[in-house]
Chains A and B, each alone.
Chain A
Amino acid sequence: MLEGLSSKLQGIVSKMRGKARVTEQDIKDMMKEIRMALLEADVNYAVVKEFIAAMTDKCKGQEIFQSLTPGQQIVKIVHDSLVELLGSEQNKIHVSPSGFTVIILYGLQGAGKTTTAAKLARLLKSDGKKPMVTSVDVHRPAAALQLEVLARKVDVPSFILPEEKSAVKIAKKAVERAKYLLCDTLIVDTAGRTTMDEEMMNELKDIEKAINPTEKLLIVDAMIGQEAVSVALAFEKAIGLDGFIMTKLDGDARGGAALSIRKITGKPIKLICVGEKIEDIEDYYPDRMAGRILGMGDVLSLIEKAQSQFDEDQARNTMERLLRNTFNLEDMLSQFEQIQKMGSVKDMIGMIPGASGKVKEEDLDERIIDLNMAIIRSMTIKERRFPNILNATRRRRIAAGSGTTVQQVNQLIRQYEQSSQLMKRFSKMNKGKRRGGFPMSGFPF
């Protein structure tokens, strides 16, 4: 596995710690590491070269030499400059003033256009728009069908003509159909193409002329290598782009392409796709991307994930009960449910800087939460509310009901007792300070 840049930089930082001042050689060493990390992250070579030159100049400025923690200072400068390069502002999808917006998605084969089309439709729908999707992919077998199936899944109308061989005709008819259905947005999924193929690029130009799209977005696979820039430039040159959507960011590719295309084309990244589920599309945050490219973890994303998935009401409820010192197994169950909603524990650990290398995969048993939930669900309401009544007979029954062993049931109850103890102390500490907030520290493990 690639060793993260952060650990390498930390090595240099700790080497510097004893030194009174930083030498030019120190900066040179650090820049060498950063250069390697950026190249390994698939950032375009020309971009890296320019970036490193600019960084070296910046770091030679006075502030570094006087700083008490020069290493960290350098990392901060690099990080901030990366964020700046990645775009300091967020960019939303544009809406046409005419009231009818056409969004067209371009990309290489296998970048994830069709999936993204459906994800985007769901996102717009949840924002109160009325989107329709259409596929003008007349090349890949069953491409149109794939979009139709996905559209049905998100309950958005779709328009496909699997027998029609002209992409332009489909596009025109799709616009008519969308207007007829009183939709305000049409998402057009195009066939994947290599930028080499002139015929295919001409097809795109023809479609563009026919339907005059509001937003022309290029779908970029986060795993793409040095080719990213020439791909983006070729599309930009042939048809002009309004922005990008990065896909497959749930993989472990660093996504250096984001930096390259942003720098070379100057066009914004509008959205990112972070999973296989249809909801897994998010706004793009430059600072997080900078951290990812540098291999520094994604703490902010983790925090936000925790917040959005947390049911605030339920959390407050638990908090109240906790403060009143009446935490029972029902509350514990709802906590487990909350945790599950946040996604897999492994995903979350991957987002904590420094944790990814330290926690071994086999140590993390995702099933333990499922198991514990099954145990609680095999209890009667009375047992959940008053765990004191759980005698040996009841425990045996619960074990049989949940397909676990009595030992496992005992373990859960012990865990409950421990957290209950912990919360008693917590509630004493918090007496008089009744504020909302998340009982993160009260998790039963």
Chain B
Amino acid sequence: MGIFESFKNGLLKTRGFVAEGFTKISAGLGRYDEDMLDELEALLVQADVGVGASLQIMDSVRHHIRQTGDDSVDSVLFAMNNQMLKILGEKTELHIEENTLNIILLVGVNGTGKTTTAGKLCLRYKGEGKKVMLAAADTFRAAAIEQLQVWGERTNTPVIAQTIGSDPAAVCYDAVHAAISRRVDVLIIDTAGRLHNKQNLMDELSKISKVVYREAPSSSIKALLVIDATTGQNAVIQAEVFSNAIDIHGMVITKLDGSAKGGVAIAVAHKAKSPILLAGLGESAEDLVNFDPEIFVRSLLPNS
């Protein structure tokens, strides 16, 4: 299955919502008047694009119509497509460097799918013939360690873990040293879910990040923020606060297939400084794909 098909299938719900709404609003007239544009704006808000980003997109659509005098469906689609791409930015891939240790640190609020993403990434790099190691730095949630260990067994990957309640920074310390001495290519660290407004938990995260950077100075370290696509406008705040606590390399949007409101990707990109790198489009491991803004927008909007 091509990447476009996986996006299209994964975004079936959102596409259904946005594209259908789009067509319904123009009601076969083939053009948009001011009221219809307002409705389009509402449609975007309803897809969790957020008030700020929706306003920006519609402003650029209105500007485009004023400039060209063309208020046809194609013209609106064109302007919308452009502005969405502008917000989402260039396509950026999660790059694994050769001949060095790559450390992927997965962070985020509770229940976004960090452990599952860790397992899926593990499968991906295993498939590419890399030497992978997992680290269970979620020492808080009951059975989080075991959940990662199951992934380890499934993928035949070593899992560095201590017991529940132990210091996550200590787990990371162990994991980094084990990864260095075993000459691992990719070390994937799963951390505990933390609500970004809990200062002590955010401090703990800074400590984890500090330990990793200190113990592995010559490796390539990338912290990924995992965001649930069903999250509403709080996702924007999550991106902001996590980036303030540690250096966020990029974001992973999970469960895009489960939501008709995948627009949150645009809401987050509108405010966040780091790019969206990966998208979760389904339950299976292959469904964790590289995020491609162009394909994302193309599978969101109706075909022109």
Contacts and interface: CB of A to CB of B under 8 A. Distances in A.
Given A109-B255, A141-B150, A253-B234, A45 B199 contact: no
B207 interface: no
Nearest to A1: B237
B199 A253 contact: no
A40 B146 contact: no
Interface in B112-154: 112-113, 119, 140-144, 146-147, 149-151
Contact of A252 (B141, B143, B147, B234): B234
B260 A230 contact: yes
A390 interface: no
Nearest to A144: B143
Given A251-B109, A251-B197, A140 B260 contact: no
Interface stretch (A17-25, A219-227, A425-433): A219-227
A39 interface: yes
Interface stretch (A145-153, A210-218, A288-296): A145-153
Given A142-B147, A230-B260, A223 B197 contact: no
B178 interface: no
A46 B42 CA distance: 9
Interface stretch (B46-54, B74-82, B183-191): B46-54
B147 A224 contact: no
A276 B264 contact: no
Nearest to B50: A40
B142 A149 contact: yes
B232 A226 contact: yes
B110 A196 contact: no
Contacts of B8: none
A141 B46 CA distance: 34
Contact of A145 (B111, B140, B146, B258): B146
Interface residues of A, number: 53
A361 B244 CA distance: 14
B292 interface: no
A280 to B, nearest CB: 12
A40 B293 CA distance: 24
Interface in B32-47: 42, 45-47
Nearest to B43: A45
B298 interface: no
B51 A252 contact: no
A108 B230 contact: yes
Interface in B193-244: 195-200, 228, 230-235, 237, 240
How many chain B residues sit at the interface, stated as a range, is 35 or more
A110 B228 contact: yes
B261 A146 contact: no
B62 interface: no
A194 B259 CA distance: 8
A45 B46 contact: yes
B232 A146 contact: no
Contacts of A39: 45, 51
Contact of A142 (B45, B109, B150, B232): B150
A36 interface: yes
Contacts of A227: 48, 230, 232, 259-261
Contacts of B232: 42, 223-228, 253, 256-257
A342 interface: no
B13 interface: yes
B287 interface: no
A414 to B, nearest CB: 28
A250 B195 contact: yes
A150 B140 contact: no
A112 B111 contact: yes
Interface string A117-155: 000000000000000000000001111011111100100
B195 A224 contact: no
B47 A226 contact: yes
A321 interface: no
Contacts of B235: 223, 225
B146 A225 contact: no
A253 B197 CA distance: 10
A28 interface: no
Nearest to B227: A223
Given A111-B111, A250-B195, A142 B146 contact: yes
A2 interface: yes
B148 to A, nearest CB: 8
A248 interface: yes
B187 to A, nearest CB: 20
A346 interface: yes
A147 B146 CA distance: 12
A14 B261 CA distance: 37
B257 A196 contact: yes
Contacts of B261: 225-227
B255 A223 contact: no
Nearest to A356: B197
A292 B264 CA distance: 22
Give the interface centre of A39, A223, A231 by most chain B CB atoms within 10 Å.
Answer: A223
A346 B111 contact: no
A59 B204 CA distance: 48
Contacts of B144: 142, 146
B259 A42 contact: no
B46 A226 contact: yes
A142 B259 CA distance: 25
Contacts of A112: 110-111
B196 A252 contact: yes
Nearest to A231: B230
B77 to A, nearest CB: 21
Contacts of A257: 232
A150 B142 contact: yes
A150 B146 CA distance: 14
Contact of A223 (B142, B199, B231): B231
A304 B202 CA distance: 27
A361 to B, nearest CB: 6
A225 B233 contact: yes
Contact of B234 (A141, A250, A251, A346): A251
A40 B237 CA distance: 11
B138 to A, nearest CB: 11
A148 B164 CA distance: 14
Contacts of A145: 142-143, 146
A108 B234 contact: no
A256 B141 CA distance: 27
30 contacts: A1-B240, A2-B233, A2-B237, A36-B51, A40-B50, A44-B46, A108-B258, A109-B111, A109-B113, A110-B112, A112-B110, A112-B111, A142-B143, A142-B150, A146-B143, A149-B143, A195-B258, A196-B12, A224-B230, A226-B47, A226-B232, A226-B261, A227-B230, A227-B232, A227-B259, A228-B232, A248-B195, A250-B197, A250-B198, A252-B196
State the 5 A-B residue pairs at the shortest beta-carbon distance, nearest first.
A225-B232, A110-B111, A194-B258, A42-B232, A146-B143
